[in-house]
Homo-oligomer: A and B are copies of this chain.
């Protein structure tokens, strides 16, 4: 079972269609679910993908357009009806908190769980952090204030080499230090380098979510070094002018961001309804960045 995966619940734009639902993804990080954007129908897609309501703890909203938010009242009210306990934290801009609180207070009376609204600064910054992951917002460049989010797994412990630890008689209270990369000093002052006692930690993965935005080098700069990038690709090259006029990107622009950021994989999404399918998006992006895939409802991408 993957320990860090991205579930695509919706990858359309503007309005739900029979081909694509509005924006919604769920990060499954070590069995904790974190949602990014919450278009109408998000709760039903969670059921469809067997993502448990009980495990949902955080919802990060990129911006306050309906196709990224309007699934929230229904989802939060369903959680209440399903006896959800604990806390769900909704991260969004202050002006969104104001209106969403009113709706939730009206339609979601007396839930057994706590709904916490956490303001997000459109200029970006750390929005959530625990011992294993850090979530950072960064500005995107759309018609209205908009942020992307980076989900970065924290460094993991190095693996102890059992027989070497035994050979050097390392006491238990020194093991934690070894895992973080410290050398071991024997009672008689001899330094045993960490590399003789441990093997490298498993890689820490990171994921960047970029929707909605016009093509902008500052986005590549902000997400530099992430492993996997989701970048909106509303249009194809032939409609580049439309993309720019409406604060969106083409698939090949998404690919250029992925290259600039040094990413290993690119996921395209937020497709305009004006195309019969997304084969052109994929072809145009892969010409620039071969490690491109298309988001689609129901798709799960395992990072680990």
Binding site for B on A (CB under 8 A): 14-18, 21, 40-41, 43-44, 47-48, 64-66, 69-71, 73-74, 77-78, 81-82, 99, 102-103, 106-108
Contact = CB atoms under 8 A, between A and B. Distances in A.
A81 B14 contact: yes
Contacts of A78: 15-16
Nearest to A40: B74
Nearest to A103: B103
Nearest to A76: B66
A73 B16 CA distance: 13
Most buried by B among A18, A64, A70, A73: A70
A70 B107 contact: yes
Contact of A40 (B17, B71, B81): B71
Contacts of A99: 102-103, 106
Given A70-B107, A102-B99, A102-B102, A48 B81 contact: no
Contact of A77 (B48, B66, B71): B66
A70 B107 CA distance: 9
